[in-house]
Structure 1
Amino acid sequence: MSSLTSFCLIPVFSKDEELVYQSYRPPWLPYPILLFQQIIVGSLCTLGAMLPVDFLFMSIVTLTTVQYKILNVELRQLFDIEDTAQRKQLLKKKIGEYVRHHAYLYDYVKRINNTFSPSLLVFLVIVLLSMCMEMYRTSTQSNLSVCIRPLLYTSFGLFQFFICYCAYSQALINEANNVYMNIYLSEWQESIRPAKSAIMIIAMAQKEIEITAGGIANIDLKTGLATLKTMISYCMFLRTIAQIDNT
């Protein structure tokens, strides 16, 4: 997205007829038409290469979060059934369904980790290293036209990491960790005997849900803030080293 935005801003800050890509321009082809063509091609390549992976991850995590939210609502209202002759059998049936639903979601999160964990680790390393260098480049430039691209790259890279990955993962983690609280607040004390079957859900819900990057780091807002802190610290370290070398 940063490259896509910089494509559009280059003509604004450029004094000459600068193109996005260095290419041959026939004498009969006007500069605005060629620039517009390069912007369209660059935009399609950027969107086609990056956004599908982001949207796939966000869609899967969002759908899983919705399933956990549905489960939490059902668990909160589990014992709100009218006191009839079939109440015990109905409670037993519902609790069995919720146990299977929760076990399936827990296993599904494992599948998400197995699928995305290696690529998330690579993405985290790339974000950490590239953003550090781009922040350093931005901090050492006084010319706006020179620092606009690294500034946009840093801003949109952080936006992508925080919004597309950390925020969505945190929403899933929060919803999954609310399962045991909702089953506990479902007024189970009014139906002691049927409630014994819900202990399995409480036991499974004690295991925290995590979206990991290579099994090394968790993908959540805490990791996002820690990554930002590391980037700023390393950027300041590079600036200090550069100042020492110049003196």
Structure 2
Amino acid sequence: MPSLYDDLFEDSGKKNKPTDHKPEPIDLDNDRFQETGKESLDEILILIKQFTTKAEPFSQLLTRTRAVDYEVEKGILDFFLIAKDKHDQGSLANERSYYAVLQTKFTAIITPMLDLGHIHLQTIKQFNRDIDKDYYSIEKTDKQVQSDKEIAIDHINIQRKILADAATSLSILEEALTNTEDRLRTYIDIGGINNISRSECEILAQKRISLTSGQLHQFDYSFFKINLLDKTAIAMGMYLKETTSQYLGKLSKVFG
């Protein structure tokens, strides 16, 4: 009976020589050898370009909004004297219209600001994760890498300035809304065409809180307000990674 292993041996009982297989040449054009992704620093620069493209019309929106026109001025004398409110609209109908304008302007700013905030978060997250003094590029010289790093840091600081400017405008509008609500309350149950119910005032306040606190858009704009220390660091073009790590941790909580 033939053995199951006969084909592995010669008649003499020795192993057959393995068949010579000519190795196939490596096709370096194969997709698996192609670099399809971008280097991390290049990806950051792309994110920066996205932000800049959206930021230009956004900055023009801030100009047109003229939030400063609605700023509630409070001086030391206001705590001792009853001064006339320069924003007083004189009637309930006018106050309603004024309030609606403030709501519209607030919404017009916070909606695109949310989008910019997301791009800013992605940029900071990737920069902190991938870029340090030992960052190496296959395609670029050390000099070009250093230049790109400086460009990225400069633009990250510009992003913070733009978001801070927007936060200032929103803060002014938020205070203007609460100030208008105070004036609306003076019309509660006075009768006639200038009459407003206490219930309506409460509902207006509730809706305003939802809008300005970030509940409605799942976005806390107030995070982007810049203190004096931040202003100094940004003005000097500083990027302290440890400090920015703390900033990133807080920034991640702004959304949702």
Q: Provide the TM-score with structure 2 as the length reference.
A: 0.44
More relative contact order, 1 or 2 (CA 8 Å, 6+ apart): 1
Rg (Cα) greater in structure: 2
Q: Provide the TM-score with structure 1 as the length reference.
A: 0.46
